Amino acid sequence: MATTGSPFSPNPNDPQLVQHEQTYKAFNIIMRWCMTLTAAVLSFLTLWFATRAGFIGAAVVGLIILYLGYNFLVRNEAHKPLDVWQPGR
């Protein structure tokens, strides 16, 4: 007899599963914020101290990287559904 799909069929009402999904989503968003802030700070400090861009030029580039990181990393994940088994996730 052939089986279709995964042998694991989670119960969406299981409180431990729901808590795990919420924790996973929060951790994922925190990691995305960390990646975005690290990229912005490293770019800012590199441009400020290692080039002739100065403080203003480095701040502008840092803010642009922060804005792009937020739009492509953080906001994208925050609007996805919590259910990780949902198709298209």
Domain residue ranges of the chain, discontinuous segments joined by +: 39-82
Q: 15 or 63: whose pLDDT is higher?
A: 63
Q: How much is the pLDDT for 82?
A: 65
> What is the percentage of the chain residues whose pLDDT exceeds 90?
48
> What is the percentage of the chain residues whose pLDDT exceeds 70?
78
Whether 40 contacts 59, CB under 8 Å = no
CB atoms within 10 A of CB 44: 21
Does residue 51 register a pLDDT over 80?
Answer: yes
Q: What would the mean pLDDT of 31-53 be, rounded to a whole number?
A: 95
Question: Which are the contacts of 28, defined by CB distance < 8 A and separation ≥ 6?
Answer: 77
Q: What is the pLDDT of residues 10-35, one digit of tens each?
A: 677 778 877 888 888 889 889 999 99
2: which 2 tokens? 């052939």
